[in-house]
Amino acid sequence: MDDGARTRDLLGHNQALYQLSYNHHQMEPLISFCGGGFQPQTVDFRPIPMVGVVVGAASIWRIPRLHWKPGMPDTTQNESLSLAVPIAGLPAGEIMPPMSPDDPTWAVMDGWVDPLAPRCGYRTPSGKTAIAGENGAKAIAWENAPDSERCLMTGAQTWRDYTATCRVQALQETCGPCLDGHQITWASAGLVFRMETSRRYYYFGLQQKHRLVLFRRSDDEWAELASRIVDYHDSVITLTVEANGDSLRAACPELGVSFFAVDTQLKSGKVGFRARGECRLFDLQVSMNPAQRRLNQRLAERATGWTAQLGTTLPDEEKIGELTLPANATILEAGNFVAPEANHLLLKTADGLEAVDWSGRTLWHFEEPVGKHKVGAAAMGSSRRIYAMVGERQAIERDSVRGQALRQTLADEIVVLDGATGAVLNREKLPELPDADKVNRFDFSFETGRLTSDSAIDFVVRQWRFDCGDGGRDLWAYDGDLNLLWHHAVDPPYGHHNAVHLVDLNGDGLTEVMAGGTLLSSTGEIISTHDRSREQLEIAGAHHYDAVLAGHFSGDEEQDPIAFLMGGSSGVYVIDPLTGQTRSFHRVGHAQWGMVANLRDDLPGQEIMVGTRWGNYGILSLFSGRGDRLWSIQPDYILQGTCPVQWTADGPQHIWLNTSRAALGLYDGHGRLVKRLDGLRDLWGNRLPGQCRCDVLRRTPDGPDLLAFGIDDTTHLFAPSR
């Protein structure tokens, strides 16, 4: 029995604690809570009502006896630790600008991160400016803007016990809504501690300049632990929190407030300052006494040991070769489009498409610049068809989410290529658009399917529109010979590339078209529309369904088919796609994309991974195939490129996180890092996020999956060691 299974048995029916334990890979005796004998000191003591505080604490208390290693080295660091934001060392002006990684303030602020505006993350202002405050004292200023929420955090996911203090001046009462919370209208400034994700943490601070509040946030749930109305008038105040086991203390001496609360929900995490709306931060310090420091170090060692132990049953990565690609070529995919028994690589080059074998030898070259492409799901004869968009009706220059210049082209034609030879089988004009000025691209449905043809070679052309936040409304269905079958415009709009799918949901052998919140038959009739689409569209930051997954995921015929609608800031709707009826919804943040994989052999069917973007990048949430949310993690604060990886011949898939060196590794279906991939970490070196290219490729149709890791001009291939 592995440790996870033991934990589960021990906790028995206590599902919430079981999940927390899994999330944090650490079980620690709650010494300070159980033995401290603390008494509430203030009028505002309010223990939160919660199922089984005592039971929960007792359960957690017992776990270390299974995991405790008496021989663990004593770190004997009998020194306290103190960290302070070096405000005095900051030059005046914007600090930590995300898209300027060489800005000198990054070095000054080494050790501090802003999860809401991370270095090399995405195109967003830092929102934090160093200024000279009153009496010449330097401060960091937060600005007055709806999207002004920013943080300064330090520490590690394993930090549990510590003290944090800040000196702050709050200058704004209301603020919002923002992409992270359509319902938030209050400005706030205060301390964050035990941050598990940027949407899950404890917080103590001023709200709307008239209330001091200590709360636990879990996504859109704000559980207030203590609060008091205060008489505040723009003065600089001191906020202090101390977390020790389950006991949370919070105080503001200037306003005469001292809170004490007991809460068991958040076990550990980073600590720092977070504010929405205009305010000034004059000081921010985090400290640990020697006992706290030793504890936190032991928790970090425990987590490392846990990863090593979990990884022992998985093969290490072994470098098996390198790919030599033509200059400026990118890998589109590896697949058996040439012949059924072997996989080849499909490359995109500046002047077209190229098929190469694994030694880099060119099989064919299609010499027309290609925008979007799609490889047919079914073979025609021995090869697959490749559909590609070519030509240029119009083009625009834009910045990508990550700040790079992009040239986006509205294509003119579709061509069909023979995957074996690259020969053009057919070509056809793309539809004429009466409102072409509102459209920046055509695109293909996420997969080909069977609309009228005998095999899955039909597809749908979709669009990206400026007036739908890069989503779209129009759908044009084609058969594999490029005959236009039907055209339909849907309302509500669908979203990005992963929002239009061809999938057989009713089992008649023909594929339906799931386009955002609308399901259409293979012949273009509307079958259903999401019943909460109006609500979804009214939520700020949710102007389309960013991504959609529909299929038979649950392994339970009572539940299938099922669809997951990733609705931007409205979160995730789990619906019956045949009726459009919502079964459940989950406010996970700005849900932007999703993928299907079998990450858990102990759960029937497949699991759904959902990632967030705007307002809270990098949160990954796993759902069961029937729509239950299992856990959320946030290994870094950058767009999470998660690829499902079949790393063993049998057993569940894993996910490969590769957006930063900090997050790099294979993770299991419990959200645990199980393989650090040190070989890749060595290659990564000190490169910044975005400077390594990562693909999961299969050399043969049966696998195994290879990790393709591109650094500079070389693509290194790693396979599971034998």
Report CA dihedral (296, 301, 302, 307) to the nearest 10 degrees.
130
Nearer of residues 550 and 603 to Ca ion, judged by Cβ: 603
Contact stretch for Ca ion (CB under 5 A) within 82-90, 124-132, 182-190, 603-611: 603-611
Contact stretch for Ca ion (CB under 5 A) within 135-143, 261-269, 504-512, 700-708: 504-512
x/- contact string, 461-500, with Ca ion (CB under 5 A)?
----------------------------------------
Q: What CA–CA distance (Å, rounded) separates 677 from 231?
A: 54
Nearer of residues 252 and 505 to Ca ion, judged by Cβ: 505
Nearer of residues 316 and 508 to Ca ion, judged by Cβ: 508
Decide if 156 contacts 298 (C-beta within 8 A): no
In the complex, the smallest distance separating the C-beta of residue 147 from Ca ion, rounded to whole angstroms, is: 38
The conformation of residue 186, written as its DSSP 8-state character, comes to B
Nearer of residues 252 and 503 to Ca ion, judged by Cβ: 503
In the complex, the smallest distance separating the C-beta of residue 625 from Ca ion, rounded to whole angstroms, is: 7
Residue 600 sits in the site that holds Ca ion (CB under 5 A): yes
Nearer of residues 207 and 598 to Ca ion, judged by Cβ: 598
Residues 29-48 that bind Ca ion (CB under 5 A): none
In the complex, the smallest distance separating the C-beta of residue 512 from Ca ion, rounded to whole angstroms, is: 5
Contact stretch for Ca ion (CB under 5 A) within 47-55, 303-311, 439-447, 593-601: 593-601
Nearer of residues 428 and 504 to Ca ion, judged by Cβ: 504
In the complex, the smallest distance separating the C-beta of residue 496 from Ca ion, rounded to whole angstroms, is: 24
Strands across the sheet with 439-444, in order? Answer: 439-444, 459-465, 472-478, 484-494
Report helix, strand or coil for 55: helix
Nearer of residues 204 and 553 to Ca ion, judged by Cβ: 553
Residue 504 sits in the site that holds Ca ion (CB under 5 A): yes
Residue 198 sits in the site that holds Ca ion (CB under 5 A): no
In the complex, the smallest distance separating the C-beta of residue 179 from Ca ion, rounded to whole angstroms, is: 32
Number of Cβ within a 10 Å radius of residue 19 = 18
Judged by CB under 5 A, the number of residues near Ca ion is 7
The conformation of residue 20, written as its DSSP 8-state character, comes to H
Among 129, 408, 506, 691, indicate the residue that binds Ca ion (CB under 5 A). 506
In the complex, the smallest distance separating the C-beta of residue 708 from Ca ion, rounded to whole angstroms, is: 26
Nearer of residues 311 and 669 to Ca ion, judged by Cβ: 669
Taking CA atoms, 402 is separated from 75, 88, 125, 614, in Å, by: 41, 30, 12, 12
Nearer of residues 277 and 594 to Ca ion, judged by Cβ: 594
In the complex, the smallest distance separating the C-beta of residue 602 from Ca ion, rounded to whole angstroms, is: 7
In the complex, the smallest distance separating the C-beta of residue 573 from Ca ion, rounded to whole angstroms, is: 21
In the complex, the smallest distance separating the C-beta of residue 581 from Ca ion, rounded to whole angstroms, is: 19
In the complex, the smallest distance separating the C-beta of residue 21 from Ca ion, rounded to whole angstroms, is: 20
Decide if 72 contacts 36 (C-beta within 8 A): no
Residue 435 sits in the site that holds Ca ion (CB under 5 A): no
Nearer of residues 558 and 713 to Ca ion, judged by Cβ: 558
104 upstream amide cis, omega within 30 of 0: no
Q: Which amino acid is at 7?
A: T
Give the dihedral sign, CA 318/321/325/331.
negative
In the complex, the smallest distance separating the C-beta of residue 665 from Ca ion, rounded to whole angstroms, is: 21
Residues 229-288 that bind Ca ion (CB under 5 A): none
Q: Which of 660, 654, 694, 648 is nearest to 674 (CA)?
A: 654
In the complex, the smallest distance separating the C-beta of residue 588 from Ca ion, rounded to whole angstroms, is: 20
Residue 508 sits in the site that holds Ca ion (CB under 5 A): yes
The conformation of residue 172, written as its DSSP 8-state character, comes to -
Q: Which residue is nearest to Ca ion (CB)?
A: 504
DSSP labels, 425-493: EEEEEPPP-TTGGGEEEEEE-SS-B-SSSSSS-BEEEEEEEGGGTT-EEEEEEE-TT--EEEEEEEEEE
Q: What CA–CA distance (Å, rounded) separates 609 from 633?
A: 11
Q: Which amino acid is at 401?
A: V
Q: Which of 175, 213, 182, 276 is nearest to 46 (CA)?
A: 213
Contact stretch for Ca ion (CB under 5 A) within 462-470, 502-510, 609-617, 701-709: 502-510
The conformation of residue 147, written as its DSSP 8-state character, comes to T
Residue 253, judged by CB atoms within 10 A of its CB (0-12, 13-18, 19+), counts as exposed
In the complex, the smallest distance separating the C-beta of residue 504 from Ca ion, rounded to whole angstroms, is: 4
| Run of H or E residues at 612 | strand 607-612
Residue 670 sits in the site that holds Ca ion (CB under 5 A): no
Among 510, 539, 608, 680, indicate the residue that binds Ca ion (CB under 5 A). 510
Residue 702 sits in the site that holds Ca ion (CB under 5 A): no
Residue 598 sits in the site that holds Ca ion (CB under 5 A): yes
Residues 123-162 that bind Ca ion (CB under 5 A): none
Among 603, 619, 638, 677, indicate the residue that binds Ca ion (CB under 5 A). 603
In the complex, the smallest distance separating the C-beta of residue 511 from Ca ion, rounded to whole angstroms, is: 6
In the complex, the smallest distance separating the C-beta of residue 520 from Ca ion, rounded to whole angstroms, is: 11
Report CA dihedral (610, 612, 617, 621) to the nearest 10 degrees.
-40
Contact stretch for Ca ion (CB under 5 A) within 100-108, 244-252, 585-593, 599-607: 599-607
Nearer of residues 234 and 508 to Ca ion, judged by Cβ: 508
DSSP labels, 327-389: TT-EEEEEEEEEETTEEEEEEEETTEEEEE-TT--EEEEE-S-EEEEEEEEEEETTEEEEEEE
Residues 6+ apart with CB under 8 A from 383: 337, 338, 339, 418, 419, 420, 421
Q: What CA–CA distance (Å, rounded) separates 711 from 680?
A: 10
Token pair of 222 as six digits: 């704000």
Contact stretch for Ca ion (CB under 5 A) within 276-284, 313-321, 510-518, 653-661: 510-518
Nearer of residues 247 and 522 to Ca ion, judged by Cβ: 522
Nearer of residues 364 and 667 to Ca ion, judged by Cβ: 667
Report helix, strand or coil for 18: helix
Interface with Ca ion by CB under 5 A: which residues? 504, 506, 508, 510, 598, 600, 603
